[in-house]
Structure 1
Amino acid sequence: MALEIERKFLVKNDAWREAVEQEWQIVQGYLATTGTLTLRVRMKEDDAYLTIKGPPHGITRSEFEYPIPPADAQAMLRELAILPVISKVRYRVHYGDRMWDLDVFSGSNEGLELAEIELKRADEHVSLPPWAGAEVTADPRYSNANLARHPYKDW
Structure 2
Amino acid sequence: MAKEVERKFLVDGQAWRSLVEDTINIQQFYLASNPGRSVRLRISDGKRAKLTLKFGSRGRERDEFEYKVPLADAEEMRQFAIGRVIEKTRHHVHHGGYLYEIDVFGGELSGLVIAELETPEHVADSELPSWIGREVTGDPHYYNATLALSDATGAVA
Q: Do both proteins adopt the same fold according to a TM-score greater than 0.5, normalized to the shorter chain?
A: yes
Unaligned stretches of 5+ residues in structure 2: none
1:58 deviation in Å? Answer: 3.5
- The percentage of aligned residue pairs carrying the same residue is 45
What's 2:10 paired with?
A: 10
Distance 1:11 1:27, change over 3 A: same
Aligned residues of 2:36 and 2:58 also touching (Cα < 8 A): no
* Match in the other structure for 1:154: 153
Q: TM-score, normalised by structure 2?
A: 0.92
Residue 69 of structure 2 corresponds to 68
Question: How many residue pairs are counted as aligned between the two chains?
Answer: 151
Match of 2:104 in 1: 104
Alignment of 1:2-41 (within 5 A): 2-41=2-41
- Shift, 1:57, TM fit: 6.1
Query: Deviations 1:59-95 (Å, cap 9, x if unpaired)?
Result: 1000000000001111111x10013100000000111
Helix, strand or coil at the partner of 2:88: strand
Aligned-residue Cα RMSD (Å) equals 1.3
More deviation, 51-60/29-38: 51-60
Deviations 1:109-148 (A, max 9, x none): 1110000000124xx2242111100000010010000000
Q: Which runs of 4+ in 1 moved over 6 A?
A: none
The corresponding residue for 2:129 is 129
SS in 2 for 1:84: strand
Q: Which runs of 5+ in 1 are unaligned?
A: none
Take 1:95 and 1:125, find their aligned partners in 2: how far apart are those partners?
11
* SS of alignment partner, residue 130 of structure 2: coil
| Matches of 1:14 and 1:27, distance apart in 2 | 23
Structure 2 residue aligned with 1:82: 82
Letter matched to residue 125 of structure 1 = V
